[in-house]
Amino acid sequence: MEHESVVTAVKQALEKAPQRKFSESIDLAINLKNLDMNQPQNRFDEEIILPHGVGKPIKIAVFAKGETAQRAKAAGADYVFDPEEINVLGEDKARAKTLAEEVNFFISESAYMPVIGKTLGQVLGPRGKMPIPLTPDKDVVQIINKSRNSIKVRSKDKMTFHISIGRKEMDPVKVSENVEAVINRIEHKYERGLYNVKSVYVKTTMGPAVRVI
């Protein structure tokens, strides 16, 4: 996979996309092959850091108190919940679901992970949004900053899955580098590398798909 060929595919996808009155995302369609997706180890479930982010704000919620909570607020976390609020959220299923849809990443001090699992696991688990555990050796600010450029990718048991990796107004070269980051991660996930990738297409939300590999 050559960098120039990826750039060319991204540019073609952008050029072929009809003009819209809203900001479109740029998506990848990944098609795998020669894998038994009933086997959990073959399912793609990874957090990938994109070199240039997704071109839109990433919302982050943190469960913490004391100095950690203050540092999370200072780092720009969108929500900082005191652990005492966990049970309240667990009882308000509608609010919990809204929060789960709105927030991209949850972070929690590790001491509160068990209660989050009990009260919010049914809402967060199926969406792949259980919190990133914040152990004492980790810095909440670093995790927040890292998460701003990360995407959560889950194939579940499907051979085909889609990933949003940018916005139409982004520089095509930067989008291409995001594409390469995803493909490289998939290549290293599977023992047979790209042999397990049938094809990869790039497209805008409403535009035609262009083959990358």
Q: Which residues of the chain have pLDDT under 70?
A: 1
Last residue of a domain, one of 147, 166, 185: 147
The whole domain housing 188 covers 3-55+149-211
Q: Largest alpha-carbon pair distance within the chain?
A: 52
Residues whose CB falls within 8 Å of the CB of residue 133, separated by 6 or more in sequence, listed in order: 108, 110, 113
- Per the CB < 8 A criterion, the answer to whether 65 and 83 are in contact is yes
Last residue of a domain, one of 147, 174, 196: 147
CA distance 199 to 196: 9
What φ, ψ does residue 198 adopt, rounded to 5°?
-75, -45
Q: Which CATH number do you get for residue 189?
A: 3.30.190.20
CA distance 159 to 163: 13
Residues 137, 64, single domain; the answer is yes
pLDDT of residue 1: 67
Last residue of a domain, one of 147, 173, 200: 147
pLDDT of residue 23: 83
pLDDT digits (tens, 9 = 90+) for 14-47: 999 988 888 899 999 999 999 999 999 999 999 9
- Per the CB < 8 A criterion, the answer to whether 128 and 45 are in contact is yes
pLDDT digits (tens, 9 = 90+) for 12-23: 999 999 888 888
Other beta carbons within 10 Å of 52: 17
pLDDT of residue 111: 96
